[in-house]
Structure 1
Amino acid sequence: MSEPNNEHARDAEQVADHEREIQDRIEAKEARSFQPKGEDDAPPQTGAREYPVPPLPRESLEKPGHETDLSLKPMWDAPYYKGSGKLEGMAAIVTGGDSGIGRAVAVLFAREGADVAIAYLEEHEDAKITQQAIEKEGRRAILIPGDVADPAYCEAAVQKTLEAFGKLDILVNNAAFQMHAKSIEDIEYDHFDRTLKTNLYGYFNMAKAAVPHLKAGGSIVNCGSVTGLEGSKELLDYSMTKGGIHAFTRSLAGNLIKKGVRVNAVAPGPVWTPLNPADKPDKTPEFGKDTPMGRPAQPEELAPAFVFLASPQTASYITGEILPVIGGY
């Protein structure tokens, strides 16, 4: 498959290389070993279909993490979810829309009647799968590779969306960088900088580029995290950015309400996506085991929350809210 050949795509390739350098340094500092623990009885399944429970496969991915490389594929297609026109005729941008939560959100947005622009770093094969899934739903999709930390890319992404769809109604900020560290002393400044540039600058840059084009009835949905609510001792920088995203959500909601634009966030607990196998492969077998539900969520279980908050039919009186979807914590 040929890859997009433009300046933003080349910059994104360099960012992905830098993310892998950070990953290599952290992993080199740790003597990783995994000793499986005794398996407890998992709580009963609560969904429309059965979801994987720990122990999960030990998965290891190079950053930024390609979903096609996972042996246990995240469940994103939501076969039992029936669309009802909640986003009919709307146009959306989903950052990090190539895989994981972003892919599931993009597909359900399309099922609800929206055209979707997929902003992503450089996971071209994953992004193509998302595009095909959107088109299968009967909606239009475009792919826009690049780095959300670059304001010029964010402006270009919005302009390409407007050119393709003639409008922009919804922005979903979902792109993220996560790399654990056992000590603050292990977090070097380029690591810290990459986390803030993707998770905070990226959200700000995309919102700043999108807001002039959002009209009354439009919305922004940010992806926060349970770590932004509770903290995480091995994700100091990531947790800080997620808490910042929650504050940004509430603040921007107040800023935009006179424009008729709502701003909310979903705060997921553990979700099976490429993000964690590209961070802590030694922990993937027990990932999500400590939740009351005894397992991680699958992306298709998060996506309806984004639909709910994005739709003026279902969330017309909701703005500045952080919606936790955390498995019963």
Structure 2
Amino acid sequence: MYKAKAYAAKSETSPLAATTIPRREPTEQDVQIEILYCGICHSDLHQVRNEWKEVMPTVYPCVPGHEIVGRVTKVGAGVTKFQPGDLAAVGCMVDSDGTCPECKAGLEQFCANMTLTYNFPDKHLGGVTYGGYSDSIVVDERFVLKVPGNLDLAGTAPLLCAGITTYSPMRHWGVTKGKKVGVVGLGGLGHMAVKFAHALGAHTVVFTTSPGKKEDALRLGADEVVISRNADEMKKHVGSFDFILDAVSAEHDINAYLQLLRRDGNLTMVGAPEKPLPVSVFGLIFGRRSLSGSPIGGIAETQEMLDFCGQHNLTADVEVIPIQKVNEAYERLLKSDVKYRFSIDMASLKAE
């Protein structure tokens, strides 16, 4: 065991502050990584403030962060895929049982015994796992990913959550050239969805309530931008979409988007509104449309996504901040005051 520098919250009302945490020495299958950048996900804020206490109560001290990019510093004797000096990444998971049908299908994100990167029982040291707001992390080789060398590392970090969360359903529902794809909401998730849909060759339409986002949506790769409050604009697209990705976490009228799907079209939710959304079943029955949800992807698919990003030179649009500004970043996140993700330069932790 060794001590690592980190930023942690001591309670649901206390700010994140410098501390030290225990990390295990690498075992035979482990990879030790010096963390260079860590993205800030909205779920970090929810977890730190114990806003998911009914489902996933926070154990303090809490060290968030599951969008991790760094450099390998040490490997266990049994590690075959990595060596010191390699660029590596870690996402939302750090372990699973490896034996259940989900794991055998490469869908570790659905494993009942999955271990999340932070605030989950730590089978090695006891207590809970600690995330990427730290100078280093030790992870089983099976859950470490290779980072293409041509990608900007600060912009790569959010790919480990925002990237795979939008890429996975597009691959599952067959987004390819010739398909018409809608993206609802242009935020941290939505902006990556636009980039992926465009790179996959789809005709990409962004739905937003903010006319001021039109120019940015087109810059990111959208072919069209629809102001969703404009009923006439919405009517033009009725029954025409193969796939719609909904990245909005606020209350909104989902039926307005179901009507835009063609026969056998699908709408997938990746945003998670706090209250249940009313769904018109007739909107699904007529047209054999489907409504689904999707979390992150499995490890193999996450690697595929990173490789795809390497081929197309895709990264998230980020604002890089020092760790000392993380609490300010959380407040700005609540106001959607970032284009489009924060990425923490972990070199700033050395100053603590």
TM-score range, shorter chain: 0.3 to 0.5
Q: Which has the higher helix share?
A: 1
Indicate the structure (1 or 2) with the bigger Cα radius of gyration.
2
Higher strand share: 2
Higher RCO (CA 8 Å, separation ≥ 6 residues): 1
Relative to the length of structure 2, the TM-score reads: 0.37
Q: What TM-score do the two structures reach when normalised by structure 1? A: 0.39
